[in-house]
Amino acid sequence: MIFSAFYGIIVAQMAIEINTSSAVEKSPKKRILLVITQSEFGGAQRFLYDLIKNLDPEKYDILLAVGKDGTVNSFETKGLKTYKLNFLRRNINPFYDIRASWELKKLIKDFDPQILFLNSSKAGFIGSFVSKYLIQNTKYKILYRIGGWSFNDPRSKPERWFWKILERTSAKWKDIIIVNNKHDFDQAIKFKIKPREKIVLVYNGLDVYKTNLLSREEAQLKLQDAAPSMDRPYPYIVGTIANFYPSKGLEYLVETAEHFKNNDNIVFVIIGDGPERFKIENLIEQRGLHKKVFLLGQIPDAYKLLGAFDIFVLPSVKEGFPWTVIEAMAAKLPVVATKVGAIPEIIEDGKNGFVVGPGHPEQIAAKIQDLLTNKHLRQELGIQAHQTVLFKFSLEKMVREIEILL
């Protein structure tokens, strides 16, 4: 029953004192408190970083509250003003969730925001619950941005149902919900996920002129440094950049590579890390692909290495709006991606990339083969992809549309 009425309205608003430090002093600027569950850099974190860096510091006083999960506080290392929420975790846990609620309540009271901007499913539920039941007479606007509904993740049917109920219930405690693709917008209407004011579609955006890609030679040397067993330059490199989560479908990229097992001119690389790494390593070993598929781990500013790739593949089974796709397109790479989330809104099949069905490595392999045998096709798709990002998915447009809502 909705976290058992969220653990008895946090154990009847029990008198727990959370050890939080004193808040930042109030400012005449508009105060925005952003909350996100994980600090490990992914799509949601990238959105927040780009947004904060492009909002006028003379107009806004911004504090970013970050949950405990993640190997490093990526925001802090990038110079943003952050606050660690020690009890906010990704997985459901009554002990941590109750304490996270009181921890967040204390921070909200201290910082006294005019905007509470919630990001990710867990932060979205807890933040709006705290505002509804633990803080009386809230005077701030609540925005909630979701980069992909949790009920679309690879989960059991009861888990998907559970997250639909949570999103539908907690939507009533939020003023504005922001989605980054039409598929999620349509699902919100279908499943009656209705906030107090409105649902808004804002696409992710990228500044094409500030990608700072390394040259092909430099990028390939970096790849070889990250994977010493990749002992020579290869004519063709197919790659992806992704966290190792079930939603990324990386096993299908490994299965795609198996179609090219006897082709010594092509290798596959995956930049990233995460909980699914052990599973992917085992699959590579089982299929005898340790000289065909290379796992490079986390690499800071991995997008700068896109110049080393000949083809970019995103094999996800669930997405919101993947930054890596528009980064690859901005790098003029031909992209093969699955028909999930915003992909069909970004890629027009055969015009600026290829779209295939999720969970079908044979389809990915067929498109890769088409690209390998047709240099002109690779170049044409890359040029059209670059133009698409330049004119349709700009960073300036994304920031402007978000700022209107603040």
Domain limits for position 273: 208-392
Residues 235 and 369 placed together within one structural domain of the fold:
yes
| Confidence (pTM) | 0.82
Same domain, 321 and 346: yes
What pLDDT score does 89 carry? 86
Q: Of 156, 172, 201, which one is at a domain's C-terminal end?
A: 201
Domain-terminating residue out of 170, 201, 232: 201
Q: What was the pLDDT predicted at 148?
A: 87
- Domain stop point among 166, 201, 236: 201
Same structural domain, 160 and 59: yes
The CATH number of the domain where 54 resides is what? 3.40.50.2000
Positions of the chain with pLDDT lower than 70, given as ranges: 1-27, 39-40, 69-79
- Is the same domain home to 177 and 227? no
Same domain, 227 and 349: yes
CA 339, 284, 213, 310 torsion-angle sign: negative
The reply to whether 48 and 195 lie within a common domain is yes
Do 384 and 277 fall within a single domain?
yes
